[in-house]
Each structure stands twice: as C-alpha cells, then as structure tokens.
Structure 1
Amino acid sequence: MKLNEPHLNAVNLKSAITFDQSRLTIEDIVAIAGRNTQVALSDDSTFRAVIARGADFLDKLLREDGTIYGVTTGYGDSCTVNVPMELVPELPHHLYAYHGCGLGEHFTPTQTRAILATRLASLCKGYSGVSVGLLEQITRLLQEDLLPLIPAEGSVGASGDLTPLSYLAAVLCGEREVWRDGIKVSAALALQEVGMTPLRLRPKEGLAIMNGTAVMTALACLAYDRAAYLVQIATRITAMSSFALDGNAHHFDEVLFSVKPHAGQQQVAAWLRQDLPASDAPRNEKRLQDRYSIRCAPHVIGVLADALPWLRTSIENELNSANDNPIIDGENERVLHGGHFYGGHIAFAMDSMKNAVANIADLLDRQMALLVDSRYNHGLPSNLSGATGPRASINHGLKALQISASAWTAEALKLTMPASVFSRSTECHNQDKVSMGTIAARDCLRVLQLTEQVVAALLVSVRQGVWLRCQIDGTTPQKNIQDMLKSLAEDVAVIQEDRMLESELRLLLERINTKKWDLYV
C-alpha cells in the first residue's frame, strides 16, 4: 500500500533540534513534522545521568519488592491487582498489546512525526523512569523516518492517548507496521533493515510511552501553525474583497482601532491599512458603511489573532511537561501518583481554536456571497463572470463555487460543538472524568481543513473580483494587492468561460499548506 501525502514539504534540512531537558517550541515540532530539520538526542553526560537515575531508582524499588503502580500492579482500575515479580517483565507487553484496538484513518506521516517528537520531548524531562536506550530508539525512528501506523480514533484524552500511543510502543519492540518511504511494511522488517534491534521494554516503559498527551499536543502544534497563517491569509483576502467591492478603507482607521485595544484586532486593522491606504477624505458618493463581513473583519479575524498568544502558552506548556503517571522523582527517590496525563488544557485550546477558525470561514463565505451578487457588489457582473456579449448568457462564473464554499463553511460550523464537554466515564469508572482532548484536536484540524478550502475558493473569487474591478473602473490596487494578484495569476487564470476549478482549488490548497505567500512582516 502506497501512502500519498501531497502537501508534505520536501526535505530541507535547515538546522538540528537536540532533545534534552530544554524547552521546545511549537515551531520545533512543526519543523520536525515537515522534515525541515534534523533531530538528535543529547549526548550531554549530565542529561543522560538524570535519565538513568530515574530508571536506576525503579530498579532499586523492584529489588526491595516495592509496590509501584503499573510496574508491580495492574493498570487503571486493576491497580489493586498485584503482579508476581516473575511476571513483571511481561507486563509492558500486555499494556500495548491490549490497547491495539484503534480504528479510523491513520495519522499522516507529518502528524506521526509530530507525535513521536512530542512524546520524546516529554520523556526527556527525566521524570518518567525510562532508559536512555528507549529515548535513543524513538530518536532513531525519527532519523530513519520509520513511522508507526497509528489509527486516529480511540483516545478519550485521559489516561492520556493510550490506544494511539500503543502503536508507538509496539513498533519500538518490532511489532505492528510502519510507513517507510510511503509504503506500509512490518515494523520488524523495517527495524532490521536499518540495523535497529527491537526493544524489550523495562518495567515502566510501556506506561511511560503510552500514558501521556503526546497525540493531542502534537496535533495542537500543527493546528496552531495553520491557524496563525490563516489569520494573515484571511486578512489579505479581506483587503482584496474590499477593493473588489469598492469598499471604504476608512473602516480600518488607526484612531478608530485605538479606542478598542485588542492587540490582535489592531494588528489585523494595521495590515489592512497596509493593503488599503485610505484617501484624505472619506468617500461619500456611495454607501457610507460597508456590510459587516468587510467592516467588522478585523473584529472577527482579531479574535483568533488575540487568542494565539494564550493558545501558544497552553500548547507549549503541555509540550514541555512530564505528563505520564506515576511521576518518577529519581533525585529524591519518590514515586508520585497523579493525573498529569489529563489533557484538559489542550482540549480547551482546541475547542476554542476551532470556534475562532470556523468564524473566519463564515466571514469569508459572507464576503464571497457579496462578491457574486450583483445587488451588493457595486457594479461587478453577476457571479463574477468574465464572459461578455452573447456568450454571457451561457456562462455562470462562480455560482457553483459559492455553493461549495457555503457547504464547507456549514460543515466547519457544525463541528464547533466543544468535544471537552462530552466526557464519558470509562474503564470501570476509574477514568470517570476524561478530557476528550484528542477528539477536540482532530476536530480542530478538520475545521482548519474546511476553512482552508473556503480560503481557496475566496482566492479564486478575489483574484477574479479585483481583475474585474480594474477592468470596469480603471482603478489600480496598492502594491500589496498587485503583488498578490500577480502571484495568484500564476496558478489561476481569469474565468472568462466556465471551466472546472477543482485542480486549481487543490493547487491553491497546496500553496496555503506550504505558506507560499509571505504576507505581512
């Protein structure tokens, strides 16, 4: 089976990211996910000593017949079941074996790299009681690009991403399957071919790999990266929509926005002023106030812009946390039982993000509705058709594209119900309150995908609308819009005769995913 991943960036090794106890950023995970950097495990002796100390402490407890959750006991509600010492080495195998029940689509290679990097980051904090050898094995998977096939469905987000992460644990031990160069192969064969020896997990290592928030956090990093770009591309589209609609640039006046001090909203307005410098006096020959989807665009896009800083804080704090259970304090020789696997912060971040993102889809959909309607577009042809003369009667322009954009918007809006409020009591009421963080993250990525499809439709629309406005009025847009129009013209020809647009839309989606346009400094 061959996996196609059309939006995967080509390998462009810019720098190296070394895993140790230092703080990672969202951008680090995105770079690893896109294969834009090399990865390495620190060879610093102090760092490696910290890791070894936790594993050595667990060995000491075992020698003293200490009771350790998930090491000498069963898992979850089975924590009351004592495991005979002679069976302790087999317990990690049983953990990943019985959790191998995921379903749904597999995570993409990009997503899987992010998951591996995120789990490795947590284990490197030194509070999970794992060996240096385990960290080296995960690092090698990333270096060799051997990516576990991980089904996307099956996690309730506490006790961590158990089921999806069981596929990582199994692959480390030479079981199940991996993607290798886009081909599905057995993990045992893939490890053998690169000279890797399957692990025999130490007593707590299965729990350490699986009992954490790596999947939801990895997806959140990727979602954040896309949402940050959405803020900029939606702003540029708004500027082009305003120009095409012969709108009023004074709606984005600096003094006007100084009296409502939301920094993100003010930034969006400032970008619009770069694209649409206002004349010395407000125009008064037409409508005094543009409709809300233009006039209030900074207020809609600005919600996501203003959310990004706290979203980053929540995501990066989770990324840089030890989030399994129990926490192993090797320095002070303590085993700390808690609930750091709970993904509530990521769940809230993703539920919040998808709401703000879907609102931008709705905003752009409303802009397109104005652009194609001759009652509201200030003299542009119906459906932005470029056909003239007798042939205008058989051409329908962007009529169907507006329907599709409306469908994508409706689906995005439908998915904004917060996943985090749907906690289900599971596992004999041991996991009686769970985060649903992974479902929230998957929903957020789907909302982003649908919104990017709306963005692609709007890029076609504003390219056509600006071209028509220039033809009709003889006006010339400012340089930013001129440059964007020129770039879009490389991918989308003006529509003078009806034609199939799917291939152009897919190309624009690729451009969005690879951030082709450097929009604002």
Structure 2
Amino acid sequence: MTDRTGPRMLITEPSDLDPASPAPITIAARLLDRLAAVRAEVLDALATGEPIYGVTTGMGALSKHRLSEDEQRAHQRNLLLGRAVGGPPWLPADEARAVLIGRLRTFLTGDAGVSVELIQQLVAVINSGRTPEIPAGGAGSAGEIIPLAHAFGSLDLELGPKEGIALLAGIPGATGRAALHGSRTRRLADHLTAVAAGAIAVIGANRDPYHPRAARADDVLAAEHTRIRDLAGPEPAPRSLQAPVSFRVAGHVVAHVRRSLADLDAAVDRAFDGVTDSPAYLDGRFVGTAGFHGVDLVAHCDHLTAALAHAAEVSTARLHRLLDPAVTGLPAQLAHDPGPQAGLVAVHKRAVATSHALRRLTLPSATSTAETSNGQEDVQSFSWEAVGVLAEAIRLTREVTACELLAVHQAFALSKRPVPPGLQELLGAVANVVPPIGADRPFGADLTRLLDSIL
C-alpha cells in the first residue's frame, strides 16, 4: 500500500491526467455527467440488436459467431479471463500505475462508452496505491490485450455491455508508460548535460564548439550550448586547441536526445487524443478503428532509444579520455597513486559493457509481421515491447552517466580546480554520498549510491 498524500489531480478534461504524476485523482462532476450521457446513448444503440464486434459477436477469428443474450452477459468478463496468459517479470509499480492512468484517460474521451461506475472503480484502484501484476513482456498481438487482461482482470465490478472489450482496446498501456518514460528522460537529459559540462570544465576544454553562433538555425542546439557554457563556467586557458571529439560534440548529442524526446511527447499526445477504442462510439454509431496499431508511438520510442544509446557511447568515450593524463594533466586513470593503484579503469570497463548492452537494444521494434488469431491479426507494431526497450535504455544510460559522473568528481578532487558555480550543487551532492577516493575500493558501491541518490 503506497501512501497517496498531497494535492489531488482534479480532472476536468482527459488531457489533465498525467501518467507521470503520483497525485491522487478526482474526476470533475461535469465530466462524469457527460460520460454518463454517452453511456446512456451506447446502451440504447446496443439495444437495437445490430451486430457489434466483441459485444454481440466473438473476437478476432471468431467475430462471425453471434452470441446469445446469455453468452453476451458472460462474454465481457471472459474476454479478460481468457487472455491473461502472461507471467513474471511484472512491471514495476509506477509503470503499472501509468498503464491504469493511460486506460482511464482514453475512457474520459467517451469513445468507449463505458459506465461511470467502471470509471470510478479505475480511479479508486489508482488512488489506492495497489497496482495489479502486469507482465512486462509477451504482448504478442495487434494491440496489448494480454497485459491489459492482467491489468483489469481483478476489477471488483460486474462488467456491463461493451466494457470488457473496451478495457482491452487500443494501446493505453504503452502510451501511459511512454509518457512516464518521457518524464524520466527529461531528468536524464539534464544530467547528461551537467555531467558533460563537468568533464569539459575539469579538463579545461576549448569552448569554441559551444559558441552561440555555432548553433545557427538550430534553436534546440543553441539552448544546449548555452546550458553547457553556463554550467562549465568561464573558459580557462585551454589545454589544447581542440579537445577530443567526445567533448566537442556534447551539445549536439544531448540536443538530439531532447529533440527525440519532444518527438515522443508529440506521439504520446496524438495517441491519447486520437481514437483508440474499437469499436468506438462516434457520431452516434459504432465504428471499427485501427488505433491499436501504434506504429507512430513505436517509431519514436525506437528513435529515443537510439539517441540514448549514442549519448551513452559518447559518455563512455569521454570517460575514457578522463583517464588519460595527456587529456587531463592529472594522474593516470585518476588514481591517487598510479601503479600501485588502478584508479577508475574498471569503472570505464563497466561503462563499456553497459554501452554495448544499449547498442543491442537499437533494433527497430516494428519490423515483424507475425500472424496471430488465425490470420485475423496479420501484422503487429509491438508498441508494448518498444516502450519496454525504452525503459531499459533509460536505465542503462543512467548507469553510464553515473560512471562518468564519478570520474568527473574524482578529476576535480585530484586537480584541486574550483568547481564552477553551475556545477556546485551537483558535485556537492556527489561528495555527500561518495567518500573521498584515496585508494582503490569497490567502486560499484559508489555508483549504486549515485544512482539511488542523485541520478
């Protein structure tokens, strides 16, 4: 049970819901009244006896099978029970919550036509802090019916007409998780900038690559160059005319991460604001849609994963240069006593292994056309898998960033150079959790403290 305290999210429109916010949720009465009116229209439309996919018929390859009234009453719950075929590992609690919020947000458009009672139960589950066990992998369908079946199979409510299929429709889980990971990436991008600026400052790198005019016609890059200059502080007499490339391209690398993130944010908004239910209740009738395909979201998850992989590789290269006396003017491998001590050479090796693992994540997700459901689902976009890969890319990039941050911290300690004002808060926080490095020790513990406390 998680304590849910603090201000509540009052939801007057679907866009008010933020999957990255831990705040409790309250749905405005006016919005609930609007949804109740849609539900009444949906029930009237269902009463006409017209065939409605997944409501009066089976699903997938069984959609030609008409259901009797008794079968219809059991069908909506059975849709969830028979599709809960996943297993561990389960999503972490914050991602599971993002799945629930993603589903709730799509229901608030009215397209699904579900009852206010179902919406209120979703709110109650989200606010309770108890999250269902949702499989992290194994979606394997056009959409995400397997993880959604796990997410909502334990709801303590008798599902009414169309509510079971509505719970399984679209890609609300991948969209909610992508929104959460976007929030995490924004924080990570700020750390990528700050750590790179620390490396630039501690080696006394030439600041020419971050000149304001060097970013002409690129506002994102210009803003990134400004952040680097502000954090790195005044330029000393450069140690060399040109620093290694991994230092000079820092602005371009993080600007690319930020651009890729903005593209993903836009794809998340399109997914949430678009029609994901199928059949959706639009203009007074039920309309079959393809909002479950999610290739737009997949492409931008993949794009951001690749951008993070590149950022991690550049960070790893910069870390290697920080161990080189020819670049830093400091003791070899940032050891207090090179020779008897190995210094941070193994920290770089961990970063190399982590970057290699990241590189293997960059295969595009939507490249399989596997068939399921007897050929009814003959292509898939694998949005659930793409957002899971992005989560892993964020985790691994944080690890590499921690490795470089530890090296920047040690380089400043050995150089006796003053820490620029823009970096004092960050490196002061590092000093609070990383004891002075005067000898070799298990640096994995230091990296874990950085990941837990700072990054």
- Identify the TM-score tier after normalising by the shorter chain: over 0.9
Shift of 1:247: 1.2
Given residue 171 of structure 1, which amino acid in structure 2 is its aligned partner? S
CA contact (8 A) 2:53 2:63 kept: yes
Q: Residues 78 and 20 (structure 1 numbering): CA distance in 2 closer, same or farther, change over 3 Å?
A: farther
Given residue 329 of structure 2, which amino acid in structure 1 is its aligned partner? G
Equivalenced residue count is: 455
Worse-superposed segment, 265-274 or 49-58 = 49-58
Segments of 4+ in structure 1 off by > 3 A? Answer: 10-14, 19-22
2:10 aligned with 1:21: no
CA contact (8 A) 1:211 1:324 kept: yes
Shift of 1:278: 4.5
Q: Give % identity.
A: 24
Q: Distance in 2 between matches of 1:265 and 1:422?
A: 35
2:435 is aligned to: 493
Q: Residues 276 and 59 (structure 1 numbering): CA distance in 2 closer, same or farther, change over 3 Å?
A: closer
2:311 aligned with 1:365: no
Shift of 1:478: 2.0
Q: Deviations over 1:241-300 (max 9, x none)?
A: 11222211232111222x3x2222111110111023444xx957x421111100111111
Map residues 78-477 of structure 1 onto 2, 5 A cutoff.
78-156=62-140, 158=142, 160-172=143-155, 198-257=156-215, 259=216, 261-279=217-235, 283=237, 286-329=239-282, 332-374=283-325, 376-387=326-337, 392-470=338-416, 475-477=417-419
Shift of 1:63: 2.9
Q: Residues 119 and 267 (structure 1 numbering): CA distance in 2 closer, same or farther, change over 3 Å?
A: same
Q: Residues 298 and 384 (structure 1 numbering): CA distance in 2 closer, same or farther, change over 3 Å?
A: same
User: What runs of 5+ residues in structure 1 fail to find an aligned partner?
Assistant: 4-9, 173-197, 514-521
Q: Distance in 2 between matches of 1:512 and 1:318?
A: 32
Given residue 373 of structure 2, which amino acid in structure 1 is its aligned partner? E
Given residue 86 of structure 2, which amino acid in structure 1 is its aligned partner? G
TM-score, normalising length from structure 2?
0.95
Shift of 1:11: 5.3
Q: Distance in 2 between matches of 1:300 and 1:11?
A: 39
Q: Distance in 2 between matches of 1:157 and 1:385?
A: 52
Q: Secondary structure at the match of 1:355?
A: helix
Q: Residues 134 and 78 (structure 1 numbering): CA distance in 2 closer, same or farther, change over 3 Å?
A: same
Q: Residues 430 and 410 (structure 1 numbering): CA distance in 2 closer, same or farther, change over 3 Å?
A: same
1:192 is aligned to: none
Map residues 36-75 of structure 1 onto 2, 5 A cutoff.
37-44=23-30, 47-75=31-59
Q: Deviations over 1:321-379 (max 9, x none)?
A: 441200013xx4211111112211211110111011111111110010101133x4232
1:519 is aligned to: none
Q: Secondary structure at the match of 1:419?
A: coil
Worse-superposed segment, 203-212 or 14-23 = 14-23
Q: Residues 315 and 394 (structure 1 numbering): CA distance in 2 closer, same or farther, change over 3 Å?
A: same
Shift of 1:210: 1.0
Q: Deviations over 1:398-446 (max 9, x none)?
A: 1111111110011011111111222422222211121111101000110
Shift of 1:512: 4.1
Q: Secondary structure at the match of 2:109?
A: coil
CA contact (8 A) 1:262 1:306 kept: no
TM-score, normalising length from structure 1?
0.83
Given residue 427 of structure 2, which amino acid in structure 1 is its aligned partner? L
Given residue 323 of structure 1, which amino acid in structure 2 is its aligned partner? T
CA contact (8 A) 2:141 2:372 kept: no
CA contact (8 A) 1:249 1:276 kept: no
Q: Secondary structure at the match of 1:94?
A: helix
Cα RMSD after superposing both structures = 2.0
Q: Distance in 1 between matches of 2:76 and 2:367?
A: 32
CA contact (8 A) 2:434 2:449 kept: no
CA contact (8 A) 2:132 2:150 kept: yes
User: What runs of 5+ residues in structure 2 fail to find an aligned partner?
Assistant: none
Given residue 43 of structure 1, which amino acid in structure 2 is its aligned partner? A
Q: Residues 448 and 157 (structure 1 numbering): CA distance in 2 closer, same or farther, change over 3 Å?
A: farther
1:183 is aligned to: none
Q: Distance in 2 between matches of 1:423 and 1:234?
A: 36
CA contact (8 A) 2:279 2:286 kept: yes
